[in-house]
Amino acid sequence: MGILFYFGIFYLAGLAQWMVLKRITKEVNQHLPDSEQYVASIWAFSPRSARLPINEIKIWRLHRQLFRESYLPWLHLAAWILMIVFFVLCVQFNRSHSIAHPGVVVLAPRFHSVI
């Protein structure tokens, strides 16, 4: 049951991160010309996609310049950190609850031939 909790929090943190990035991109795009706007869709495979790491950094910086008092970039960073922490917890939980533990020895039954 613990892995479901950790994975659920990881998934919700990813969803929150995506929603915040979409909002930040929307606010930045209001101040950019049409030719320079970023695409915020998950399915966008363009060089101007907001999901590219270099573009996320550019969008972050533009948003910090345009909206100095906004808390959204810090919320985006907090969601990233939450995702990383709960991903690590999922991996650790999976390793600690695996079937074959290093200290457990599995003995196979011996079969005796009747010849």
- Residue 36: strand, helix, or coil: helix
Both tokens of 34, joined, read: 């049409």
Q: What tens digit of pLDDT does each residue of 16-49 get?
A: 888 999 999 999 999 999 889 998 877 777 788 8
The pTM (predicted TM-score) of the whole model is 0.71
Note the pLDDT of residue 42: 72
The percent of residues above 70 in pLDDT, for the chain, comes to: 83
The reported pLDDT for the residue numbered 5 is 81
pLDDT in tens, 61-106: 999 999 988 888 888 889 889 888 888 887 887 777 666 556 655 5
Amino acid of residue 82:
L
Taking each helix axis as running N to C, give the angle between helix 2-29 and helix 53-66, from 0 to 180 degrees, rounded to the nearest 10.
60
Q: Rounded to 10 degrees, what is the CA torsion of 47, 15, 43, 39?
A: -40
List helix spans (H) across the chain.
2-29, 53-66, 72-96
If one counts every other C-beta atom within 10 angstroms of the C-beta of residue 83, the result is 19
Query: Tokens representing 94?
Result: 């999976």
Which DSSP state fits 35? Answer: G
Which pLDDT belongs to residue 114? 65
Q: Whose CA is closest to 67, among 27, 21, 23, 18? A: 27
- Indicate the domain borders of the chain: 2-96
